Structure 1
């Protein structure tokens, strides 16, 4: 009977996958014993593709085979019939299974790996129809993979679990447990409901698990629509609070959680959910996780999902890494350093002391070129300790993982010596140096003595124990590798004893090793020459075959030599792995220190290479940037040999300039200017230097960016709706410490509507949010607001005209744009000359009509703060207009008017009303 497999994971929602994994239930009746076993195991894992081990292949059957065939582009075949229909089948070689797993995981599928757990010979002894016992040994999901070939070296592979607790009738707080089982990282945090989407975006998980109740909450529907990772709901009954706390205690072998800190109920629920999912997918195996660390609410700069996307922090809008801020600033030389850099960029700090410590380390490394180069060379030789340690803990490691521990600890010792010889180490580097020295040198010596120089990928291949380390292994290897010499020596002795120079010792699959002599010699042997030694086996036409007790014993030794050597090597491997796991916390600490040093060195290398400067970050409200540049745009221009035009930005103080209203032509550089200042704030608070001649920034608590526009057709939202949703989030959450960048608010609707919305948003930012803001617009009418809004200042992008051609200077200066240069941009875009000519003629006509109308009214005459003041009392009923006013009103078409035309029409009505007395 087939062994009962472990329970399946709850049904997931793998968004990227094109096909559903779940298949209809299959009937075992009438199935062959092997197919009955497959059906039983598949029934226990209905939502996974089942990799069913058969010899050197993982086979897939029925619906799984059809899905895998399409997803992997492999041939779909047939294997017999079931219930009168052909059984679809396809398979992948075990040796190349990681490549196929990687492709399936990338498509959002989950895979149950079913291995043979007994020797086929054992199955035969149970009876002719017995099937080799098989079990599901693990469930491979996007958030639980550990194999190097399935992981991105520089990206964390986070599994994120979400729990919650009720604050009021309508409000919840959400706990997040982020675990990377490939490195052991385990962090907990709690956020209010309004920040859940941004928190998920910051973690950038590969997979999300939560309760069915949270997943089904209508208030969170938009959150799940926004995430790209597969979402796996778990049954509410499995997530009982006491069970969650028990799982945490069992994972870390403690009686109480107090030693880890104080956790909220939501955080404990999330931690319990993530440990339950790991236990289930790893079929009971426990990865070596670090103790959970709690991230206090407000510990990092809050950046919502839309802002992260708009600023392209870790990925561009197209989804790639190339061209993102992370790609531009990454000078790390190790995979662990690259992952930590991405983590720092995703969560800039709010702690001034921590920011200062990071900056001190960067300053020190930037000032000492020789030491920085030596440190980075040593770091480049350090393997990925964290991921090797995790695989060892899960029992999925190979000899190269042990070598990674050896070489990583060696590199850490060398780096520690470099730091020990330096003077005036900053506090951050001194702490990292102490962690690097924490490993036991005896562990390194043990690994160095036992492991060979050339190592196989898998321990099943053998040959990884150094010659001379274990006498039993050396003896077995000699017998296995030099069997020909041993057989030849025996053959020579037998030839001498029989006097037969043509005696040969041969081998075939039927007889094994045997002695072959001519028939005449064979008959003599039977009569007495070697009668006591040789045992007759076979008579041929012209030869006879014998064996001997000595040859039989030698054959047994030779045939078992490889198995014996591998068994002894496996024992050595297990002993070395146990030594490593006994120092799990120490090795993990060394891995973290290496990553931290790599990130500091990366920032220093970048600062020297690109001439970046250390920003001053304090608790004030300053925002002064001199000679600021956009890091990504500057890097692109440098590759093409073009300079970047640096600009200043001052949003400091309570007086004019806290909000800067920017006008200027398209392609003039408004969006670049807005983004570069937001990116400078992010870089400063992550502890890096910034692309500026000088920078003084007060802590930013929330960063908002509303730049660019796109339809969201999947949710039936237009460009303008997306714009308004994101703008609403900004106006409802921005505080006095926040930094807001807004571009072209109101351009997605009718002119009057758009101008009104942009106007009201500026008032709200100025009077209610009172934040630091950059506001770019094409509504030139808004520039007059600087006369009324005390903290509003106008700036524009300089443009020069030469022989009818426009030159964008990309320089931000005080003032107001005189025109938009739309026709020049259209010409650069390649619009047909006939269209450009016609547009020019229409523009001249409109401008002439504008000049012929009465002078433009002053914006001062319009009520600026009506939306912020109490509603006025109802107006007194006005007398009915006479025929003159009626004719004027009849001539007005509000939907066809520009803002300026509307204001002029209003003044004409006022003058007509005044004329009536």
Structure 2
């Protein structure tokens, strides 16, 4: 350490405490980075890597960014998952001898970003903590520093359940203890793409005890304490805007595991990241950014209380019934800024005068919103009206104090309105009159000297001066001017009178700016007292915004109010998939009924691929989610039970990170559903068993259907390509066969996308391949092979011409069927074999295989 300069020693000491962050070290007008930070930052930010003299240590890598444009560089690092420690000069260099004292004033991490330019205005930015306990339970805590929101949940179901809970929210960073399981920590990084940070301190300081007054479980206090201490460690400033912790009672909300949220494409699509093509993209008709964030929260946690669901539906109905008032309300909401985040910035101390103007302008529109709400006839809208606090006193404070068009900087003056403070008005008067006197002086000097080019100017180094070109110096009176500065073509002078007036003007300007800053801080402190009320107002405006958005969706897309009954009956008439119908041309989507009475738990769905089985299944789940989050639903009418959980296994994909194959993922997701579902759940399983051999797959599929039917009794849609399973309706009384209708016309298959009772009679697989434009020789070969498998051998030479053989060379080997057993044609042999089997002593899979073989022999 002694080999470095005092300043570099200071840098190295500070960097030792910030090992996992880029240290932005303030030097004058730049943030500088050194050593490994500089090397890595130059690559990530694509800025020039330089070096500086390190004494006996040689050259030190170095790079830097201007402090006034640092936000953009910090944003780039944060978006890549890095942390940035901001190290500022905390002493005035002018009054300090030696090295200026520096301290880290803030640690910016992906979960603690506050700057608006680094945030998605329609999405929360959650920091979470995950705390493990010996009994296998976990506590997940959440904080959105931009809004002050805090919540905590106890997860009894192990690490997978905790992962599923984290997946439900837009979490950017997770805090764990230093001894947290290494494998699980890596899964948070690899599978959920989180930045993982560490904090072992869990005690809650006395000043934060009011936040946890409603939290009574020790585990929850430990979990939130870890999160709170990490926030204190990184932010090092006021946290007055933090809201009381809400305990998430998971039993009050529908459970949607991470598989279901992904498979149903609620917030983003499977194929590519982003909102387009998701359920959210269809139903987001909110106007404000805080309303958009609330909509996502409601989608993540649909309600289980029929009364709470009915209240939201009443309010949607109230907005839907009065079109003109709703349109007026939407116009007024467009004038409301993000009150939630503005309140957070006020308390956090990084609010500027323009933010205050946004706050003032937003509050000025609240009376208009209240006036419009009062015009709605439905009593449920009256309850919304009663909960809106217009904060007249805060609006008046901002109206009286903040100038209409202030600068971004809070240290340049121009912040405070004239008439707000007498002393400030005096300074402004002196400054304004002083400048007028300067203008008059210039004109007087020109007249008296006869020098028309004479001018009075100002710069920061020399102050005010009188400038005369060298050609005109002879016209100056003797002894009147004192030379101040010599230029190439001119001389600059001062006079005693000018010096005196300069002192007055500059003192007035300097004191005016200083006083304005002090007054602004005072106003900001006064506004802080309104933070809780602002947060409550933001919550209510967000709620109004979401509900009017639901009404807008219902009217635009012809959604209807669903009914909820205690009976376990699903009765949807002319149901539609909310996303698919918007993607298709208008009028081309084929609606379908879904009916499952109390005597029907399982619909076994058969039909060709591409016919719409998955769409049919998904639309039931999406209808259930929409209804229970408070929206109307896409159908002609709907009567539903309240589902406590939804489990889906739709689509196939390898999990490359964990090394799981498609079939393993399929089994894991199926197991999750079978383990956690209740009779009040909804299960959607699509084509279970595809990833293994025919016998294995069919045996597993049948066993799963039987287990759901006999043990769980949940409402279940089970699609399959195993047509042999359709005979289960003879054995399982609460199973019903349905199929997707398709017709052959002139050698082609036409998918009608209609769900009809009974099993499908054909799979149409080769027709689907033809629609996918596979090569004609391949289609011909597949047709011949299918005929051979179903009806006995055919001559190969009839299936392909010599010209086609070459094209088929890459396909034939894979197309050849496995060598089949020689089948005995005599029915008596089959009967003897059947009589000899002791099925009760065999494993289900062996029994299935034997029966399947006998069935095939009978068919042939």
- TM-score normalised by L of structure 1: 0.84
Q: CA deviation at 1:660?
A: 0.2
**1:219-266: CA deviations, max 9, x gaps?**
78756653222222323xx22xxx23xx3x412558xx5xx4343112
SS at the partner of 2:350?
coil
Q: CA deviation at 1:35?
A: 2.4
SS at the partner of 1:298?
helix
- For the Cα contact (< 8 Å) 1:752–1:898, is it kept in 2? no
Q: CA deviation at 1:337?
A: 0.3
- For the Cα contact (< 8 Å) 1:163–1:267, is it kept in 2? no
Deviates more, 1:33-42 or 1:276-285: 33-42
Q: Which residue of 1 aligns with 2:560?
A: 613
- For the Cα contact (< 8 Å) 1:617–1:684, is it kept in 2? no
**1:42-76: CA deviations, max 9, x gaps?**
11111101122233332222211222222222222
Deviates more, 1:496-505 or 1:582-591: 496-505
Q: Do the aligned partners of residues 792 and 467 (structure 1) sit closer, same or farther apart at CA in structure 2, a change above 3 Å counting?
A: same
Rounded to whole Å, the distance in 2 between the matches of 1:515 and 1:864 is: 118
How many corresponding residue pairs?
820
Q: Which residue of 1 aligns with 2:800?
A: none
Deviates more, 1:349-358 or 1:192-201: 192-201
Of the candidates 133, 137, 160, which is equivalent to residue 173 of structure 1? 137
Q: Do the aligned partners of residues 633 and 287 (structure 1) sit closer, same or farther apart at CA in structure 2, a change above 3 Å counting?
A: farther
Q: Which residue of 1 aligns with 2:803?
A: none
1:643 aligns with 2:588: yes
Q: Which residue of 2 aligns with 1:826?
A: 769
Rounded to whole Å, the distance in 1 between the matches of 2:30 and 2:596 is: 65
Q: CA deviation at 1:97?
A: 2.2
Q: Which residue of 2 aligns with 1:310?
A: 263
Q: Which residue of 2 aligns with 1:555?
A: 502
Rounded to whole Å, the distance in 2 between the matches of 1:865 and 1:80 is: 88
Of the candidates 461, 464, 478, which is equivalent to residue 415 of structure 2? 464
Q: Which residue of 2 aligns with 1:20?
A: none
1:100 aligns with 2:100: no
1:120 aligns with 2:82: no
Of the candidates 393, 411, 414, which is equivalent to residue 368 of structure 2? 414
Q: Do the aligned partners of residues 502 and 374 (structure 1) sit closer, same or farther apart at CA in structure 2, a change above 3 Å counting?
A: closer
Q: CA deviation at 1:82?
A: 5.8
Q: Which residue of 1 aligns with 2:642?
A: 699
Q: Which residue of 1 aligns with 2:328?
A: 374
Aligned pairs (5 A) from 1:278-317: 278-317=231-270
Q: Which residue of 2 aligns with 1:272?
A: 225
Q: Which residue of 2 aligns with 1:450?
A: 401
Aligned pairs (5 A) from 1:153-552: 153-166=121-134, 171-194=135-158, 195-213=161-179, 215-216=180-181, 225-235=190-200, 238-239=201-202, 243-244=203-204, 247=205, 249-251=206-208, 253=210, 257=212, 260-317=213-270, 318-426=272-380, 429-436=381-388, 438-470=389-421, 472-473=423-424, 476=427, 485-494=436-445, 504-507=455-458, 511-515=462-466, 525-526=478-479, 530=480, 535=482, 546-552=493-499
Q: Do the aligned partners of residues 550 and 771 (structure 1) sit closer, same or farther apart at CA in structure 2, a change above 3 Å counting?
A: same
Rounded to whole Å, the distance in 1 between the matches of 2:611 and 2:591 is: 13
Rounded to whole Å, the distance in 1 between the matches of 2:214 and 2:780 is: 71
Q: Do the aligned partners of residues 370 and 844 (structure 1) sit closer, same or farther apart at CA in structure 2, a change above 3 Å counting?
A: same
Aligned pairs (5 A) from 1:657-806: 657-806=600-749
Rounded to whole Å, the distance in 2 between the matches of 1:609 and 1:509 is: 63
SS at the partner of 1:631?
coil
Rounded to whole Å, the distance in 2 between the matches of 1:233 and 1:292 is: 21
- For the Cα contact (< 8 Å) 1:647–1:812, is it kept in 2? yes
Rounded to whole Å, the distance in 1 between the matches of 2:566 and 2:185 is: 35
- For the Cα contact (< 8 Å) 1:178–1:203, is it kept in 2? no
- For the Cα contact (< 8 Å) 1:751–1:898, is it kept in 2? no
Rounded to whole Å, the distance in 2 between the matches of 1:540 and 1:816 is: 99
1:56 aligns with 2:18: no
Rounded to whole Å, the distance in 2 between the matches of 1:754 and 1:264 is: 46
Q: Which residue of 1 aligns with 2:753?
A: 810
- For the Cα contact (< 8 Å) 2:578–2:619, is it kept in 1? yes
SS at the partner of 1:373?
helix
SS at the partner of 2:131?
strand
SS at the partner of 1:713?
coil
Q: Do the aligned partners of residues 539 and 331 (structure 1) sit closer, same or farther apart at CA in structure 2, a change above 3 Å counting?
A: closer
Rounded to whole Å, the distance in 2 between the matches of 1:115 and 1:641 is: 59
1:90 aligns with 2:63: yes
Q: Do the aligned partners of residues 377 and 509 (structure 1) sit closer, same or farther apart at CA in structure 2, a change above 3 Å counting?
A: closer
SS at the partner of 2:74?
helix
Rounded to whole Å, the distance in 1 between the matches of 2:255 and 2:66 is: 47
Rounded to whole Å, the distance in 1 between the matches of 2:521 and 2:836 is: 80
Q: Do the aligned partners of residues 484 and 773 (structure 1) sit closer, same or farther apart at CA in structure 2, a change above 3 Å counting?
A: same
Rounded to whole Å, the distance in 2 between the matches of 1:103 and 1:400 is: 25
- For the Cα contact (< 8 Å) 2:824–2:857, is it kept in 1? no
Q: CA deviation at 1:292?
A: 1.4
- For the Cα contact (< 8 Å) 1:252–1:291, is it kept in 2? no
Q: CA deviation at 1:331?
A: 0.4
**1:101-130: CA deviations, max 9, x gaps?**
22211111011112222333123xx2xxx2
Q: Which residue of 1 aligns with 2:516?
A: 569
Q: Do the aligned partners of residues 43 and 633 (structure 1) sit closer, same or farther apart at CA in structure 2, a change above 3 Å counting?
A: same
Q: Do the aligned partners of residues 504 and 789 (structure 1) sit closer, same or farther apart at CA in structure 2, a change above 3 Å counting?
A: closer
**1:877-913: CA deviations, max 9, x gaps?**
xxxxxxxxxxxxxxxxx9xx998545445999xxxxx
- For the Cα contact (< 8 Å) 1:173–1:266, is it kept in 2? no
Q: CA deviation at 1:218?
A: 5.9
**1:459-517: CA deviations, max 9, x gaps?**
23432333444455455556667876432312344566778877654556664433467
Deviates more, 1:175-184 or 1:601-610: 175-184
1:75 aligns with 2:75: no
Rounded to whole Å, the distance in 2 between the matches of 1:739 and 1:160 is: 29
Q: Do the aligned partners of residues 675 and 510 (structure 1) sit closer, same or farther apart at CA in structure 2, a change above 3 Å counting?
A: closer
- For the Cα contact (< 8 Å) 1:399–1:459, is it kept in 2? yes
Q: Do the aligned partners of residues 412 and 164 (structure 1) sit closer, same or farther apart at CA in structure 2, a change above 3 Å counting?
A: farther
Q: Which residue of 2 aligns with 1:133?
A: 101
Structure 1 unaligned blocks of 5 or more: 1-27, 875-893, 909-917
**1:665-712: CA deviations, max 9, x gaps?**
010001111111011111111111111111111111111000111111
Q: CA RMSD in A?
A: 3.2
Q: Do the aligned partners of residues 863 and 615 (structure 1) sit closer, same or farther apart at CA in structure 2, a change above 3 Å counting?
A: farther
Q: Do the aligned partners of residues 872 and 351 (structure 1) sit closer, same or farther apart at CA in structure 2, a change above 3 Å counting?
A: same
SS at the partner of 2:379?
coil
Q: CA deviation at 1:734?
A: 0.9
